[in-house]
Amino acid sequence: MGTCLLTHSLTYSLTYPRAYSLTHLLTCSQVHECLRVFSDRLIDDSDRSWFKELLNKTVKEQFNVEWSKIKGEHENIIFCNFGDPKSLTKPYSELADRSNLGNNSLTHLLTYWLTHSLTHSPTHSLTYLLTHSPTYLLTHSLTYLLTHSLTYSLTYSVAKIMEDYLEDFNQMTTKPMSLVLFASAVEHIARISRIINQPYGNALLVGVGGSGRKSLTQLAIHIADYELFKIEITKSYGLFEWREDIKAMMNKAGVMNKSTVFMIDDTQIVKETFLEDINGILNTGEVANLFNAEELGAVIEVLTCLLTCLLTCLLTCLLTHSPTCLLTHSPTCLLTYSLTYS
């Protein structure tokens, strides 16, 4: 799927510093897909280490290239469609050249150090400060800074773009978020963005409460320019209210043709029927017996009107463009233009 999403145009090649050949680019995308499809499902560090060793061996045998040359100077490969915020097409490409995305890594390093200190008890922090001399603390801090400079420069150069997206999100919402976009957070956003941009993409986010699953998902939805649909649980919320919310979500995505992400957490599943309906949506894209005959007729009527407008618009495009233009542009492009226009 990731290979199909790649856009290998002339402009992309010129702006991609490590795209020496199409083979190199496809190798990077294949490795990235293996990491996303297999490695992201592993839950144990030993399994992840085993997978990296297997990946190193397979890349060497199948592609005749070292893993270190594939990943370049960065620890992780990141493919995304938000690497260039100014691009209108949002090409799916590797975020390889991160040098022009500079940010104050020292500031973020200090922020991380402060956050790490706050996670320990006051007694632990006070004891650490009292038992070590100022010279040792300064030396230890400088050593830590130097040994982690590469990781933090990678992390927070990418985070500069993410912070711009976050600022834009906070300006458009009534519930702004205050997030520290460290390395793991940026990688999770890239994972979520890749999933929701795929047809029928879905994901199960597992983690402890307060780890940022909802916040990172909302930011990824904003980056993709999609709309978020959530349910509000009340004391009287039951099967009827659930089905009405599902209807509203289906109408929003299907009839109104709005790219929608449905987000639900485990605390909102108050009845087992909810899981059955979610399973139906994931497997078949629908919920059995959701609409009655009258509601289904209304949906068909609206879709018929939209199809009529689409065909009219398409016919207008065919009549107003020259034969040369029609031969240059594929029917797919014309259909996409007609959908956007209608």
Per-position DSSP letters for 1-18, written without gaps between them: -HHHHB---HHHHHH-TT
Owner of token pair 């520290």: 180
Whether pLDDT at 262 is above 90: yes
pLDDT band at 146 (very low <50, low <70, confident <90, very high): very low
Given this model, what pLDDT does residue 144 score? 46
Given this model, what pLDDT does residue 261 score? 93
Q: How many CB atoms lie within 10 A of CB 223?
A: 25
pTM exceeds 0.85 for this model: no
Residues facing residue 6 across a β-bridge: 92
Given this model, what pLDDT does residue 19 score? 42
Highest mean pLDDT among 123-137, 238-252, 308-322: 238-252
| DSSP conformational letter for 92 | B
| DSSP conformational letter for 68 | H
Given this model, what pLDDT does residue 181 score? 80
Stretch 320-335: mean pLDDT: 60
Given this model, what pLDDT does residue 5 score? 66
Q: What is the mean pLDDT of the chain?
A: 75
> Which stretches of 22-71 are DSSP H helices?
22-37, 45-63, 67-71
The domain limits of the chain are: 2-97, 105-196, 241-284, 293-341
Given this model, what pLDDT does residue 8 score? 43
Given this model, what pLDDT does residue 240 score? 92
Whether pLDDT at 27 is above 60: yes
pLDDT band at 138 (very low <50, low <70, confident <90, very high): low
Given this model, what pLDDT does residue 18 score? 45
Given this model, what pLDDT does residue 89 score? 75
pLDDT band at 227 (very low <50, low <70, confident <90, very high): very high
d(CA 271, CA 139): 57
The whole-angstrom distance between residue 73's C-alpha and the CA centroid of its chain comes to 23
pLDDT band at 249 (very low <50, low <70, confident <90, very high): very high
Stretch 296-311: mean pLDDT: 88
Query: Who wins on pLDDT, 30 or 260?
Result: 260
